[in-house]
Structure 1
Amino acid sequence: MSVSDTNAVTLDGLRLDRGGRSILRDIHLQVPTGSITAVLGPSGSGKSTLLAALTGELPASAGSVRVLGQAVPRRSRALLEMRKSIGVLLQGNGLLTDLSVADNVALPLRTHTRLPEILVRRLVDFKLNAVGLRAVADAYPRELSGGMARRVALARALALDPPLMIYDEPLTGLDPIASGVIMSLIQRLNDTLGLTSVIVSHHVHETLPICDQAVVIANGGLVFAGTPQQLQASDDPLVRQFLGGEPDGPIGFDAQARTEAA
């Protein structure tokens, strides 16, 4: 097995620009197949920008992005095919309020496959059962709690059996109990379905226990990559400031000052 086969994601010298300004630069990162990687960092540090590069929404300005063994394509048809192999759980869930829970989960199957309806419904039952919500198949998103809606969105993201899952701030707006349920579910699904997961989050203490690898983004670059244990033991001033939530330190929070410095 080659090195590229052992990694679901490989970033090599990646630079990402928006509006003529570099958001992230010189990013080198490998996400091993079957692992859970947490991408941590303060708000506005570029975590979601990094996700946009993985899905091909934002092309690399320099360097390379390889996902599931291939370079992220730029042609729309090839990019669409690649995206079918990536499940994305959005911050806002993205559920369609006029569709039932079952129809929300069925949407990717009806859009991207020609499966008979009876098989679509069986797959929907299976996905909802995997997140513990088969009993609410006929409910509508407005009738669900925040945690339940997040789990429905997760079932929909899994509908096409993607080998790579991306979670964009999966705990936003959830109470501690719902957050614990979601993180436990992410870990269980990753193990039982043989997935690779990338979790973008600023919820450090909730995310680290389920991760194999943790990376920290700050000041336009990757300031740490290692195991959660190595992160906790790090004496790097940037890492300590982020983990401790300190307002003063090497990580700046004045956006104008950062722009001028760049």
Structure 2
Amino acid sequence: MTADTPIVRLADVRLDRGGRAVLRDISLDVPRGSITAVLGPSGSGKSTLLAALTGELAPAAGKVEVFGKPVPQAKKALLEMRKGVGVLLQGNGLLTDLTVAENVGLPLQAHTDLPKPVIRRLVEMKLHAVGLRAAADLFPRELSGGMARRVALARALALDPPLMIYDEPLTGLDPIASGVIMSLIKRLNDTLGLTSIIVTHHVHETMPVAGHAVVIANGGIVFSGTPAQLEASTDPLVKQFLNGEPDGPIAFDAVARSQAA
């Protein structure tokens, strides 16, 4: 992969679930070192797109490439690719009977042969990066929502992945914790030389850190551009989403939305 090859590329992708197309004609390049926000209302297909990037869902048509190569379908090759992709899940996914340090060390134990003292030192470094080195011996139940999200972030960074994917990173967080998480995402992306994709419906919190924004609605990409271009858009569909208006070209249909999630 050359320096100017997009770290993620989707070309004319169609993604199906349950025999129906959730997303059609999706084309997207994510440049190395960037922060790209993938925005859209609940049920618009953001999670489906994420599943395609991690190889959980094979495209029905088109190409999905990560690190300059098609996302593999063979299990061993897919596991190898995923080592380079850190994913911060909505629910954090922390194991309640393990300490913070033990949770962060799990990927290192599973995917490396490093000795325990080295793993312990790497865990300290990851926790320091998210400002939680002092919380190493706490259990998940002793953490606030924002702290738990930062621990999950430290774990996602454990294997030094060049690509980070954040799945609704602000869900359940108060405004202060949300601000901490977003500034942390920006700082880590810059200092560690990462490429980040933030999948979210939190537009106003995400735009200050993003360099590129994509809006998904009605089965496809309805906007792709800079945050400033998004803010200035006069497209009725984009304006409805940004302003949270119930009436407009994005249908509010609970059944359809839950099926598309």
| C-alpha separation in 1, matches of 2:251 and 2:5 | 36
SS in 2 for 1:7: coil
- Whether the 8 Å contact between 1:109 and 1:160 is mirrored in structure 2 is yes
SS in 1 for 2:207: helix
Shift of residue 254, structure 1, vs aligned partner: 1.2
- Whether the 8 Å contact between 1:12 and 1:29 is mirrored in structure 2 is yes
- Whether the 8 Å contact between 1:224 and 1:239 is mirrored in structure 2 is yes
Residue of structure 1 equivalent to 2:66 = 67
Residue of structure 2 equivalent to 1:152 = 151
- Whether the 8 Å contact between 2:44 and 2:257 is mirrored in structure 1 is no
Letter matched to residue 69 of structure 1 = G
Q: What is the 5 A alignment of 1:243-258?
A: 243-256=242-255
Q: What is the 5 A alignment of 1:84-163?
A: 84-163=83-162
SS in 2 for 1:209: coil
Shift of residue 257, structure 1, vs aligned partner: 6.4
SS in 2 for 1:6: coil
Q: What is the 5 A alignment of 1:145-224?
A: 145-224=144-223
| C-alpha separation in 2, matches of 1:257 and 1:161 | 38
RMSD over aligned CA atoms reads: 1.3
| C-alpha separation in 2, matches of 1:59 and 1:249 | 32
What count of residue pairs does the alignment treat as equivalent? Answer: 258
Runs (5+) with no aligned partner, structure 1: none
- Whether the 8 Å contact between 1:5 and 1:69 is mirrored in structure 2 is no
SS in 2 for 1:174: coil
The CA deviation string for residues 5-30 of structure 1, in whole angstroms up to 9 with x for no partner, is 43110000000000000000100101
Shift of residue 201, structure 1, vs aligned partner: 0.6
Letter matched to residue 153 of structure 1 = A
Shift of residue 253, structure 1, vs aligned partner: 1.5
- Whether the 8 Å contact between 2:162 and 2:194 is mirrored in structure 1 is yes
| C-alpha separation in 2, matches of 1:38 and 1:256 | 26
Shift of residue 258, structure 1, vs aligned partner: 7.8
Shift of residue 67, structure 1, vs aligned partner: 0.5
- Whether the 8 Å contact between 1:214 and 1:227 is mirrored in structure 2 is yes
Percent identity of paired positions between Structure 1 and Structure 2: 76
The CA deviation string for residues 130-186 of structure 1, in whole angstroms up to 9 with x for no partner, is 000000100000000000000000000000000000000000000000000000000
| C-alpha separation in 1, matches of 2:199 and 2:257 | 22
Letter matched to residue 169 of structure 2 = P
Letter matched to residue 127 of structure 1 = K
The CA deviation string for residues 180-200 of structure 1, in whole angstroms up to 9 with x for no partner, is 000000000000000000001
| C-alpha separation in 1, matches of 2:253 and 2:5 | 39
